[in-house]
A and B are shown apart, each in its own frame.
Chain A
Amino acid sequence: MLTDEQLLMDYGRGRGDALAELIRRYQQELYAFLHRYVNDQNVAEDLFQETFVQVHRSAARFDTERRFRPWLFTIAANKARDHLRVAGRRHTQSLDQTMGKEGETGLVDLLASDVPTPPMELSGEEDIAAVRKVLSEMAVIYKEVLMLSFFQQMSYKEMAETLGVPLGTVKSRLHSAVAVFAKSYGGIGERQEARGGKPG
């Protein structure tokens, strides 16, 4: 089977069906990434198409030393970020939003804290809805790193390449993202418990 990079090079040389194959390979994970990123099915579809239009435009100039997957996600993440910026819904404030006292960085210990751990196989509609709510409310920089690491299962190196930030920054963002996610998810569970519903 041809690699992604070979397919893109073939497409750049005029093999039209190579792009269809690339789209087919990535439609599931790239669409899911964009959908969770912008939290809107129609916008995600548009961004998915724009991403591949950009791939088409840049195919002839693709640096063959690079890998296709991080490059594709870089394009997609840039498109999604641009959209959120234009739509005025970029939640940059969340980066400064403190969960502890002002100016302090709270530390979360997943093992010692009373934050409930989600079940290993999350399947209930309510649980999944809770996760989606947390993801949709997270700051973009945390959401993207969580999705790239846990959903797209990228390595730190790939994430750094995709996001265009140093490896150390990716690590600290992910550590913080997991902490923010756990805190917010736990918060939903507590509210549901208080209302007599199912905890998260």
Chain B
Amino acid sequence: MSGEEKHPVMLCAEDAAAVDAMVEGKAGEEARGARVRAWAGAVRAGCAEGVPAGLLEKTLGAVQSERMKISGKAHGPVAAGSGEERVPVGWMRRYWREASAGLVAACILAAVMVPMIQTARLSAQREACAGNLGLVSNALGMYAADFSGALPSVAVPADGNWMPRGPGYRPTSGVAGSYSNAANLLPLVNASYMGSERLMCPGRTSGGTKVDLSLGDVPEEVRGYSYVNMFGAERPRMDGKRSTIILADRNPLFGSKAVEDPAANSWNHQLRGNYVVRGDKSVSWETTPNVGVGGDNIWTIGVERKRVYTGTETVRSLADSFLAP
């Protein structure tokens, strides 16, 4: 567009000056200025909108998908030609020798590249998981800021049991119902601090699935993280301390692929390590679960390393981090 556009209607010079004065924040002629301000007010009223619920989360999700797309982009091999012309024997021999050499080179390249691609994919998944936990950590921080430092929680269920039940189990909502400790994260979703897809680890699931909020719990099959036990006598808070661990990758001592060794890392990242969220909102990668206060194990209650839980056990003090499954 040039400065020589033809317009069907224009303001008279006085009105145009009043518009300029308003846009440039200068005083203009009073009567015309008031009229122009009224028109500007009408445009503003016509533009004002509420923001749709979850826009922030959806946008961050779109950025995350873009990041994953770029990290995981595979470059296909260049297809070899398939000419059918007959060639002299000498040429054939040379052709096969070159083809064999090419094949060997391709095998060597594949042997080097496949682990590299796998590592890159794992690295991309880890990065996605860290980004996701960063958002959950922000949501926890915002929640705590709005509720005087309290972490999200729901009422203790009638059976007082924090244990997630096996496949096929469906929780029943409300105080009289039964639901696992993971239900304590749902206020973050219900109050629009984040989207429900954040409850899933991008390193473990394909992502994109939403949690069915009507269940009143985070079902076993989509649960990506373990949250500090909120069904104990004293509820942990967002205290700003780096030593307090609030959330982490999923506890590997429970579930269908449960391991016995309390020193094991989460399955979210193939037992290689765990992301943890602390009371100061920081997210860090740890290669051992013994990162609680004084090296406390975050997967277990106390130091007894009890391996069979009923779901009614609770921690004796807040110094004992226990990230329920």
CA distance A147 to B46 in the complex (A): 10
Q: Flag A119-141 by CB within 8 Å of B: 1 or 0 each.
A: 11111000110011011000001
Min CB distance B71 to A, Å, is 13
Q: What is the bound-complex CA distance between A112 and B32, given in angstroms?
A: 10
The answer, yes or no, to whether A64 is at the interface (CB within 8 Å) is no
Interface: A192 (CB within 8 A): no
Chain A residue numbers with a CB within 8 Å of B16 are 171, 175
Find chain A residues with CB under 8 A from B46 CB.
Answer: 36, 122, 128, 131-132, 134-135
Q: Are A181 and B39 neighbours in the complex by a CB distance under 8 Å? A: yes
Most A Cβ at <10 Å: residue of B6, B24, B39, B67 = B39
Contact assessment for B8 and A96 in the assembled complex, using a CB-CB cutoff below 8 Å: yes
Count residues on chain B whose CB falls below 8 Å from chain A CBs. Answer: 54
Please give me the residue from chain B that is nearest to A165 by CB atom: B1
A179-B49 contact in complex given A53-B62, A53-B63, A117-B39, C-beta closer than 8 Å: no
A35 interface hit (Cβ, 8 Å): yes
Contact-residue size bin, chain A (C-beta under 8 Å from the other chain):
35 or more
A99 at the binding interface (Cβ < 8 Å): yes
- In the complex, A1 has a CB within 8 A of chain B: no
- Determine whether the beta carbon of B19 is less than 8 Å from that of A122: no
Report the bound CA distance from A146 to B6 in whole Å: 17
Name which of B53-61, B96-104, B158-166, B291-299 contacts chain A.
B53-61
Q: At the interface, yes or no: B47 with Cβ under 8 Å from chain A?
A: yes
Please measure, in the bound complex, the distance between the C-alpha atom of A146 and the C-alpha atom of B36, giving whole angstroms.
12
B15 touches A105 (CB 8 A): no
A71 to B201, CA, bound (A): 33
Please determine whether A49 and B62 come into contact, CB atoms closer than 8 angstroms.
yes
In the complex, are the beta carbons of A105 and B7 less than 8 A apart? yes
Please, how many angstroms separate the alpha-carbon atoms of A183 and B10 in the complex? 11
Please, how many angstroms separate the alpha-carbon atoms of A32 and B50 in the complex? 8
Task: Indicate if B11 sits at the interface (CB-CB under 8 A).
Answer: yes
Among the listed A97, A112, A120, A151, which residue makes an inter-chain contact with B37, where contact means beta carbons less than 8 Å apart? A120
Q: Are A110 and B56 in contact, with the CB atoms below 8 A?
A: no
Which of A2-10, A13-21, A82-90 is the interface stretch?
A13-21
Partner of B12, one of A50, A108, A135: A108
The stretch of B130-138, B207-215, B300-308 that contacts the partner chain: B130-138
A-B pairs with beta carbons under 8 A, tally: 203
Most central of A28, A111, A128, A169 by chain B CB within 10 Å: A111
Complex CA gap A27/B39 in Å reads 25
> Is the Cβ of A108 less than 8 Å from the Cβ of B43?
no
- A20-B135, A131-B43, A179-B9 given; A117·B66 CB < 8 A: no
Are B38 and A119 touching (Cβ within 8 A)? yes
Residues of B within 8 A of A120 (CB): 34, 37-38, 41
Given contacts A107-B9, A107-B11, A172-B5, whether A45 and B36 have CB atoms under 8 Å apart is no
**Contact between chains at B42 and A100 (CB < 8 Å):** no
Interface: B2 (CB within 8 A): yes
The 22 listed contacts between A and B (C-beta, < 8 Å) are A19-B60, A41-B52, A52-B59, A53-B62, A96-B8, A99-B9, A105-B6, A107-B9, A108-B15, A110-B15, A112-B12, A118-B41, A122-B45, A127-B42, A127-B45, A135-B43, A141-B1, A155-B24, A155-B25, A156-B24, A165-B1, A181-B42
B interface with A by C-beta (< 8 Å): 1-3, 5-12, 14-16, 18-20, 23-25, 31-32, 34-49, 51-52, 55-56, 58-60, 62-63, 66-67, 130-131, 134-135, 138
Interface residues of A (CB under 8 A from B): 16-17, 19-20, 23-24, 27-28, 31-33, 35-36, 41, 45, 48-50, 52-53, 56-57, 95-100, 105-112, 117-123, 127-128, 131-132, 134-135, 141, 146-147, 149-151, 155-156, 165-166, 168-169, 171-176, 178-183, 185
5 A-B pairs with least C-beta separation: A131-B46, A176-B7, A122-B45, A150-B40, A118-B42
